[in-house]
Chains A and B, each alone.
Chain A
Amino acid sequence: MNRQSLLSTSLAALAGLMLVDAIPAEASPRAFVTNERDHTMSVVDMATLKVTDTIKTGRRPRGIIASPDGKLIYVCASDDNRVEVYDAATLKLVKTLRSGPDPELFVLHPSGNPLYIANEDDNMVTVVNVENNDLIAEIPVGVEPEGMGISPDGKYMVNTSETTNMAHVVDTSNNEIIENILVDSRPRIAEFSKDGKQLWVSAEVGGTVAVIDPATWKIIKKISFKIPGVADDAIQPVGVRITKDGSKAFIALGPANRVAVVNAKTLEVEKYLLVGQRVWQLGFTPDEKFLLSTNGNSNDISVIDVADEKVTKSITVGRLPWGVVVVP
């Protein structure tokens, strides 16, 4: 090798190194999807819409959320009775956190700490300090707690109990229940609007979504759904996501294989989008250009263009995809 070619080879190698270095800085958002039956988590690159990694998790991973900075991914490993925390960049398990038995869904305080976990088997919400794994409180709620929501100011945490059919409102300053709101059968998700002025609670068996005013904790409206050619009992609302500007809400309708688009101002259903089979949970990309739905029976996720209200793609993931979160 002469001097000239040695120099160019070195330059090429250097450029290669720089390229490798540059990738994380310019990385596109990634979606993390829990696959309940495979005990894995799929990682999807949102630029290429391809699965880039599949990570082995604890048994029966279900609820999945990210820390406010998007650097940590929290997973409920339901059958291992613990919460697992992954580094979103390295995809490595960083630590595990305590939970009560059978954690299914959870929510982080907007500050990133503590973590509120619904424990289906002992009718408690466990409050855990994510820094040191200390148990802060155990809040007795209804039978089979599931859905978990928190107001944007962090003052109120809401848990739904599947068998009691209630949304329990907890004052986070003292972890006491201040209100119990009766909703329809088998409530699944509690989701606040970003301005904190609405609380949406889906009822899977009841087939409705209750919109609640947090000023009075009264139900303003129960939204119901009708889809031509779909039996009413297949309409089973589960996942709920509301855009940051409070204009639109998206509701996953289970075996109806549709996501409903609701005008969040008028509370009227405007459209139904056909997605995969048994659509369960939903997650926005950070810029809210896209919404992803997990489709448990077709083992894929659907990509919904939020502005166009159209399904643009489906991506095969693991078996029985359950939850999804997207980080920058």
Chain B
Amino acid sequence: MNVIAKPDTPTRQLMSGNEAIARAVWEAGCRVAAAYPGTPSTEILENLARYKDIHANWATNEKTSLEIVIGASVAGSRAFSAMKHVGMNVASDALMSQTLAGVGGGLVIAIADDVGLSSSQNEQDSRFWGRFGHLPILEPSDSQEAYEMVKAAFDLSERFECPVIVRLTTRICHVKGLVTVGAREERPSQGFRHDSARWVLVPANAKRRLAAQFERDARLLALAEDSPFNRVDEGKDKRIGFVASGPAYMHVKEAFPDAPVLKLGLTCPVPVETVRAFAGTVKALVVAEETEPLVERDLKAAGIACHGKDILPRSGELSPAILLPAVKALLGEPWEPQATLQPQVFPRPPTMCVGCPHLPAYYCLSRLRRQVNIAGDIGCYTLGAGQPWNALDTTTCMGASMGMALGMDLGRAEADKDKAVIGVIGDSTFLHMGMQGLIDIAYNKGNVTILILDNSAAGMTGGQDHAGTGRDAGGQDAPRVDFRKLVEALGVKAERIHVVDPYEMPTLYKHLREEIAIPEPSVIITQRPCVLIDRFHRDPPFKVVEETCTGCSNCLNVGCPAIHVTRRASETRPSGKVVEKSWVRIDTAACTGCGLCPKTCGPKAILPARESLES
């Protein structure tokens, strides 16, 4: 889907924020880039991987990705990492110390916040990291600005010798707009400067660096007061002036074209004196920023009166429709919102794919539901918490299923003493942060069964490769993690490890039943490729023989979206019990022929489409 910018066309192109950022990173002469996929940041590295003169790698997690680029920077090269907001939490250990040591070659980190939670477990404001780590933050408002700011960020990073954060949101990453691009500037590595007093953060060295950091804070503030990224759009109507950053700036311009706006592009540190001067030119000040009131708090701390979260929402995206009534109320002007029809339509939550290899795992878990508590994790298989399986009890963060499963075992109540504990995790997530938790399970002899659903891809973000797939970010062959050997090396007994084909559902079910009965750490690895990746092959489809189908609806419990209900009825048994019946058909164009639903059909009404046609 991405239209890749051809490296040699200096012209105006329609680019998403992510594409524009990749282009800017390449033009800035960056030599090393690393990332772990995470919505909405994923496409930045995907795009970078197509530029041949950059080492663009998928890393195992965000912390290793940041460490790789810190190393490259210390070695004298420009380096870049991209991650989503929750990824920064993982990388923060490295960040918070490197902020003291600083950088060699320019080091830029793009952090993409999922404002409005389109596919994340929380909504957090990454601009806190700038305040936490004493680092500058740039906040673009569209693709063109994302492109310009990333280039400027490399220069800033070198000038102030610190990492620079570019804060993105989904509305920057995935919005396409016009970008005028340029050419690549060659930036050979400056070489490694041995300086252990700086790069080796033992307490004595770190203490000395603290002073340098405070001195940098002062210089950064002076820069913010003077930055061309912080500029005023004059406006005729001086009743309200806006201080706006990120996508909120565009919404303010659209909703209040005549209002003066101080656009903040460099939002950390906040240029309070610039804002104070601007505030003097308008009657009231409104800060329009998405999620946390960070700029607002900084202004209030400096004694500048302003409105912000008192009238605007604390979470989710801003829009003209949200800004207009809030600000009109402040002005004491009436505002009639546009009346729009809101027809009642069923919800359409995301589902697992037709023939998804996670379906059998969740079908089996749903059959065992009453005997088990299940710790879940982050990935496509989180959808197993929904209908029809209802087979996940927790989801917290990448890799948490492992430690939480152990904790659910150790902290179990009397009422749960006969229940087994199961942890479910995907291949990419297991490598990202699950391995450590499994070590804890094995080492502490947890009575836990772990299901590693290996579909040979980071499925949720679109099927990216990782160390377990045998391919790198550029599509080249790469060494491949052997999950069975890895799990054994982490301390799980060989006889407690099973590698199974999930489509062989009875075998999977048998292993699950056996392992939850044995009070030792055990691991079941299911292996079949994600249906969205090249390696997946479809088989001939199945079909329901209408006359044979009894309407028992067992097959619907598989949860495959290719199975559709044609007719429903309630039947009263001789015993007086009322049963709901649903007769089904299979969308043969969609069916991948995985063979799962036939295994759930007692009367054998589901047959290969070809045979049943003949019969």
Q: Do A and B bind?
A: no
The interface of chain A, by Cβ under 8 A from chain B, is none
